[in-house]
Amino acid sequence: MIKAAELEEVRRAVSGDDSALAALLQRHYTFVYKYLVKVAMDANLAEETVQDTMIRCMENIHRYDGTSAFSSWMITIATRIYIDKTRRKKREQNWLTLIRDQAVRRFRWQLETRNEEWTDVMDAMTRLTPEHRVAVLLKHYYGYGYDEIGEMLSIPAGTVKSRTAYGLRQLRKELE
């Protein structure tokens, strides 16, 4: 059920009443934010998306037609923005993977043209995330201790241990 008072507030907002618009958005901000936290499972992404949602609502308040609750209209906008962001992020990740693969091929070619060896381990290392690759290299190639690596990277030694263990596990899978 759409509240008459809320419809009146929307009408005033459409007419240029900034205080009515601010009141509408403030009233629904927490609701939309909590929804986005549950959808995104990422508080930072939810905060960024709710901010974008508020801007889009301000820009398009004149499009709200009153056939659904104002909160439903906002949730629809928030969902569309979230989906757009995740699609964009996926495209960016695919692009970054392509760029990384090209860089690895170029690096491998450079090594091989200088008669340096490209091993299966090096190939497997390219598929680790940078965080895991750094931890494995510093621990097992350069011989630093977990505490030293933690200081270098400004992270707890326990995080270094888990990154190293995960990286080694991934390398073993790649090399099998």
- Please state the domain extents for the chain: 4-90, 119-175
CATH 1.10.1740.10 fits 4-90, yes or no: yes
Residues of the chain with pLDDT under 70: 1-2, 118
> Are the beta carbons of 94 and 144 closer than 8 angstroms?
no
> Are the beta carbons of 80 and 38 closer than 8 angstroms?
no
Per-residue pLDDT of 132-151, as tens digits, reads 999 999 999 899 999 999 99
CATH 3.40.50.2300 fits 119-175, yes or no: no
pLDDT at 1: 52
Backbone phi and psi for residue 156, each to the nearest 5 degrees, phi listed first: -65, 150
